[in-house]
Structure formats: C-alpha cells, structure tokens
Amino acid sequence: MPNPGVCLEALEALTGFRVESSGGPSQLSPQDFVNIVALKEFYKQEGLKQLDYPSLGSLSLQDPQEDADLYSAPPALTEGPGPEQNRIITVRINPEDFFDPSYDYDFTSVKDGNKAFLRGNELYVRPCGWNRAAIRVVQRYGDGDGWLGTGETAWPVSYHGHAMDGSHGIILTHGGGHGDQPEFLDAAAASLVHSETRGRGVYSTPDISVAEKFCRKFTSKVDGKTYKVLLQNRINPQNRKKCQREGVWLVYIPDGTSDLQTRIMVQNSIRPYGLLLKQA
C-alpha cells in the first residue's frame, strides 16, 4: 500500500478537509468522500456557495486552490461565513477500516499496449502509471458485490477529477428527451455548447488520461514529493448518460431535485473503490 500518511493527505487534497488518522471508527465512509467530492463540484456548477452534508453541517464551496500554487498543500475547506471562515474541518479516518491493502495494485510501471480489459462489458482503461490504494468497499453495500466484479453485471469503471462540469459534455439523446430530461442536440449539431444543451449533474470519465487533466495535486509533508490524486469509481450504467465529447459520462440530475434526492442519486450511481496516486 502507498504510505498511509500520504493517502490521508490525498484525501485532504480531494476534499479540503484536514484528515487525521484514528484508531476508532472512521468519521466518514468511502461513499461519503465520493459524495462530497462529486456534490461539491455539482453545487459549484449551480452557483451555490455552500453544501449541507449530514454530520458535517454547512460546507463552504469556495475553492482555495483556484488561485493557489497547484504544487502546494491545499488550505482546508472552511465552514460557514464571517468569523467562522477560519474554522478548519477535521475528519478522523481509521486507515485499517477505510483502506483494503489486499486489493492494492501498483500500475506505476505497467504498460497495457494493445491489451483490452472489460468491466460490465465495457472497455476498462486501466490506470497505468498510477499507484492504487484500494478502498474497503467489499460487503459494504446492501445489493452485494456484483457491481465490483468483472462480469456482465459489473459496473463500468470511471475516474473522477476536479472541475469537470457542464462545459465538458453534451448529453447524447438521439430522438429527443423524455420525462423531465430536456432535449439535447445531436452530436453532429453539438459543436457549440449552450446552457440548454449541457447535462446538469455529476461528471466523470472512463479515460484515465482525460481525468489526469483535471486531477488535484499536492505536496506531501510526509515524504516531500508532489503527487497527483484521483478517485477510481464504478458507475451504475443505468444512471449514466454518455456525452457528445468522447470520454465524458454524466449522472444527470433533473432541475428541481432536492438536496436529499441529489445525494441519494449520487450514492446510487457512483461508488469509489480506489485512491489513485502518481508523482507529478
């Protein structure tokens, strides 16, 4: 497993929280982390200033890294406006409960070339060049572990990077929209992106090279090295929309969806299983 201290720093870079090691129960589950990372980006798309999350309260969506040196350690996300802005949210994680070293895989020196891999009958672009710290998710979901396998019932693999939003994809819906989903332009007519053609929701990608363009970077206080970090997920194929731009997937969230419904849609659609690290 990559250095556990570096892994906790990677979680800090993704969320903006201060993440500390604990011998007790983890304060947040792996699913909470992917929910927070995804919802943070989504609500920023919507122009909101804060995200309310159970057990954590109101989280500021201001991103201190936007104007900062990407190679410096990220300032922690703050809670609330005014005098509370200097409060740092600390989350305690038990590495033994959060990570699952038996499923770690070091892709640092792996080159797949023309080899093809499938997950859920869809192409799996393995994260060659990255080191994966596996997240403990086996037997953590009520519907079993089929989503995590390699067969037909497995969910496809996606990668979540920073700042992938509606400007990066147009939903493909040949023949028009249905229900509460608006109509979107066909691919041939989608050269210009307008607000009415963008998919409203949470974006990810099956292509590790695309995700790398939107990854977080941080300089470790543990070993002094600079790393890139991504989340490796599985995405529910029934809840995913493909976009006009190749290599972009969307979990579509209809307008008018409540905060609770939005969180449920995300956690029913995207499940994390790996924390990816790569020296920058």
Instruction: Kindly give the residue spans of alpha helices, DSSP state H, lying in 16-53.
Output: 30-45
pLDDT of residue 163: 73
Q: What is the CA radius of gyration of the chain?
A: 18
Q: Distance (Å, rounded) from C-alpha 100 to C-alpha 134?
A: 5
DSSP string, 61-122: ---TTTTS-TTSPPPPPB-SSGGGGGPBPEEEE-HHHHB-GGG-EE-TT---TT---EETTE
pLDDT digits 0-9 by tens, 120-163:
999 999 999 999 999 999 999 999 999 999 988 999 999 997 77
Closest residue by Cα to residue 4 from 135, 127, 110: 135
Q: Distance (Å, rounded) from C-alpha 31 to C-alpha 271?
A: 6
Closest residue by Cα to residue 162 from 27, 51, 64: 64
Q: Find tokens 């995804």 and name the residue.
A: 38
Crossing angle of helices 259-267/30-45, nearest 10°?
Answer: 130
Closest residue by Cα to residue 55 from 74, 40, 33: 33
pLDDT of residue 199: 74
Q: Which residues contact 6 (CB under 8 A, 6 or more apart)?
A: 220, 222, 223, 227, 277
Closest residue by Cα to residue 28 from 3, 55, 58, 60: 55
pLDDT of residue 178: 41
Q: Mark the ranges of the chain whose per-residue pLDDT is less than 70.
A: 63-87, 165-198
pLDDT digits 0-9 by tens, 199-222:
788 999 999 999 999 899 999 999
Contact 276, 229 (CB under 8 A): yes
Q: Give Dmax over CA atoms of the chain in angstroms.
A: 56
pLDDT of residue 274: 97
